[in-house]
Structure formats: C-alpha cells, structure tokens
A and B are shown apart, each in its own frame.
Chain A
C-alpha cells in the first residue's frame, strides 16, 4: 500500500492535509468532531473555514458520523464529503452504502488509528478536570484510562475499507491510500510517498483481541428466558440504543409504529388465569426483533450501550448476535464493498439445517 509521509506535528499535519483536500477541490466538505469547552460535537467545514477539529478525538459522541452521512445522502446533499472516522464507523459507512443509505461515490472515508475510545460522559468529566485532548489520548494509549467494553474487544484498529487512513508515527503522520481515490489524492497532494502497511504495527493487538473476543462471545450466551428477563429488567424502553445505532437507519422503527402500541390494552385483555401478567414481552419484542433485523450488519461499536441511560450491557448482546449471525453467512460487516448484506441476497445451497424439523 502507498503512504504519504507527512513529517512534523501530527495534529498540524492532519489539519493541513484536510485543508488541502478542500482548497484543491478534492472535497467540498470535511465532516469531523471538535471539542469545545466540555463538549464534543460534529461539525461540517467548507473551503476557507478554520478547521478547529480533532482528528483523534478519543471518544464517539451520540451522533455518529455514518448517521449524518446517511441523512445528507438521502436528502440529496451535493458535493463530496471527507468524513473523519474511527474504524468501526468506517465499517458502518460501508454497510450503509451497501444498504443504499450512503452515496459511496460522493465520499472520502478518512479513517484514523484507533485502539479504543472512552465513554463520552467520562470524556466530558476529564475535560472538566483539566485534561487536554492529547493528554486523554495518551492516557488511553498507555492503558491508564478505561476504554469502552466494545473497544477492548475490537479487532479493527485499522478498518478493512478506507480511502485515506491516518496513522501517527514518531516523526509525524502517515496517510495511507486504501483505494484508487486515495491514491489519486496522494498524487495531487505531492507529499513524499513510500510503500507501507497500516495493519502491521497492530498485529499483536489484533490477535490478542481476536482470542479475547472469542472467549467473550462464548461466555455471552444466555441460558434462557429468566436470564434474558433479568438482563432487561431495568430497561425503560426509551429506544435510545436504536436511535444512536448507525445501522438502525429506518426513518421510523417498526417498534415505534402503532403496531406496537398495544402493550397495556392487549396485555390487560389477556387477563391471566393464574394471577400474573408479565409485561416484559414488549421489551423483548423490541430488543430481540431489532437484533434480528440488523445484527447481520452490526459493527460491534458498542454505541448502543454508551447511549443507554440504564447501563444495560448491550455490548454483550450485540457482540454475541453479530458474531453468530454474521458467521452463519461467512459475512463480516464492513469488510468489503462487494459482499452483499446477508438479508439482501440468497444462495441456492447451504442452510439446509434450518429446513424441516
């Protein structure tokens, strides 16, 4: 793979690369997060704007960049967007593009190295305590700050699909080209170029996490209704987990439709003979139903859990079901642009064990 070698301060190099994308007309917009005061927010920049963004923000706030891209694609935004994303979000973009929610042709995926992010709430606390953004990143890298559970099990510090990938090194910043478009951009930028491999420095981390994830997923299985009921006991049915999920792109969730308004009316009319009507069913309809709809495309980012006001361990549920349901079809969400999402296609062979009794 070709990479550009940008010597000097990492942050400055990243900003000047993005500024050039805009000034040379390679991109019309840059979409990224910036930190201001104690908050972190998504921003869109145009040519001439001051890029007060942060490329390596060590958190992902409640408005994921793939979601913003799907809004702009489906509402017909003209022009090319360069989106700065973590690897999991790059994978979500690939899924959404295959599901016709993002226009891949008007997009430059600029991914960044990521070994983990912290919960957005903790991030705000740390800023309040006077930590600088780079300070937080360093502490994360040193393992002194606790990262989100999903991140500790994430096996993609560099995504499988990207146009440009930014990776700091001792003397500056590498910008890898992961596509034809990426190569073209590096040519236009005229930076010194060489051969390189963005994955190689993470080899050990990836294999360690692969093992850990396998173990985790094995233990994540549920033993039945009672355990599941306990798991969702505190769920208040706010559907935040769905709202924030980059893969839940439906304009109206099936489970927010009047079809599922029946809870009290119907449940009471089923007046039980043995004195007890558990109302949990409606929560399970939503959670299991949602998982059945989208776990084949889940990118295991854990943003659902971060958004949950009741700290339900949704990472466990979705890692379990994403791994299991993607494996069924030898699929992996966000791995390639060509592989069809499993529920969008079929093969005549296979799956015969699901037929008959």
Chain B
C-alpha cells in the first residue's frame, strides 16, 4: 500500500468554480490532483442523491463549487443548493457517516487561487479521515 491518494468528486458550476479550476490550471498553481471535476450548469442541479452515490460508490470526498451568493446565474440556485447540502450533511451526521466528506464552497471565476486552496485543504482533511469506509472492496 502506497500513500493514500484521495479521490474527490468535484461538482463544479460552469459559471464559476469550473472556470476557477481552469484558471488555477492555466496559472500553473500547485495543488493536489485529487479532484475529478464534473461540470454542472448550476450548483443547484447537484441533487443530494448524486453526492450520496459518489460516496457510496467509493469517492473519499465530494466538493460542490457554487457561485457566491448573489452571483448565481439562475438567481438563487446556490442558496437552494446550500439547503440541500445542509440536509445531506445533517443526515450523514445522524447516521454516523462522516459528513466532513462533503464540502460546499463559493468560488468565483476569478478565484483560481481559492480553488487551489480549497483543493489543498480539503485533500488534507480527507487524508486525515482516511479512505472512505463505504468504499468496501472497490479499487479505483
């Protein structure tokens, strides 16, 4: 067994966090390559069922990247998503399933730096938690 390389599924809004991830890349910022990005049209289309599915299928963490409050292209999608995140994290907590594996962040198009920082911090946090126990016997 080598070093634990977390797998983090990143649901990134195309109007903000996804562009920020590109910016972090083109600016050659250093951050761990742990995030598997999935571009979505708005953070609000990330049904908690998708987050749950990622976790139950073995992802070590799930990041949802949304526009800052007031900046969502669909007006209030990000704030509605925040409610869904609250419900899934709260639920995981009551079931003893490590809600810290789910993270919700506002990252605007210009915040390449913030994206890199979040990737770094979240990866560190997941490393501390260790591999997802829901992962069962799967290998990636």
Contact = CB atoms under 8 A, between A and B. Distances in A.
A258 interface: no
Interface in B91-116: 91, 94-97, 100, 103-106
Interface in A335-357: 342-343, 345-348, 351, 354-357
Contacts of B91: 288, 291-292, 295, 321, 324-325
A348 B69 contact: yes
* Residue of A224, A225, A273, A328 contacting most chain B CB atoms (<10 Å): A225
A354 B139 contact: no
A325 B80 CA distance: 15
A285 B125 CA distance: 25
B83 A357 contact: no
Contact of A321 (B48, B94, B106): B94
Interface stretch (B4-12, B18-26, B33-41, B51-59): B51-59
A281 B134 contact: yes
Nearest to B134: A225
A357 B120 CA distance: 11
Contact of B48 (A292, A346, A351): A292
B28 to A, nearest CB: 24
A270 B59 CA distance: 13
Contacts, number: 117
B133 interface: yes
B48 A270 contact: no
Contact of B49 (A293, A328, A355): A293
A275 B82 CA distance: 39
A309 interface: no
Contacts of A292: 48-49, 52, 84, 87-88, 91
Nearest to B99: A354
B2 interface: no
B79 interface: yes
A48 interface: no
A285 B136 contact: no
Contacts of A101: none
Nearest to A272: B137
Interface residues of B, number: 39
Contact of A346 (B76, B106, B136, B139): B76
Interface string A83-110: 0000000000000000000000000000
Interface string A272-307: 111111100100110011011101100000000000
B138 A289 contact: no
What DSSP secondary structure best describes chain B's contact surface?
helix
A221 B93 CA distance: 9
Given A272-B137, A278-B137, A356 B83 contact: no
Given A288-B52, A357-B122, A222 B86 contact: no
A43 interface: no
Contact of A273 (B82, B133, B137): B137
B96 A221 contact: yes
A223 interface: yes
A285 B85 contact: no
Contacts of B69: 348
Interface in B46-80: 48-49, 52-53, 56-57, 69, 76, 79-80
B98 to A, nearest CB: 8
B30 interface: no
B14 interface: no
14 contacts: A221-B95, A222-B95, A224-B95, A225-B134, A254-B49, A278-B136, A278-B137, A285-B52, A288-B95, A289-B52, A325-B90, A345-B80, A355-B105, A357-B118
Interface of A: 221-225, 227-228, 254, 270, 272-278, 281, 284-285, 288-289, 291-293, 295-296, 320-321, 324-325, 328-329, 342-343, 345-348, 351, 354-357
Interface of B: 48-49, 52-53, 56-57, 69, 76, 79-80, 82-91, 94-97, 100, 103-106, 118, 121-122, 125, 133-134, 136-139
Given A224-B95, A227-B96, A285-B52, 10 more contacts: A221-B96, A222-B94, A228-B97, A273-B137, A273-B139, A289-B49, A325-B90, A354-B85, A355-B82, A356-B104
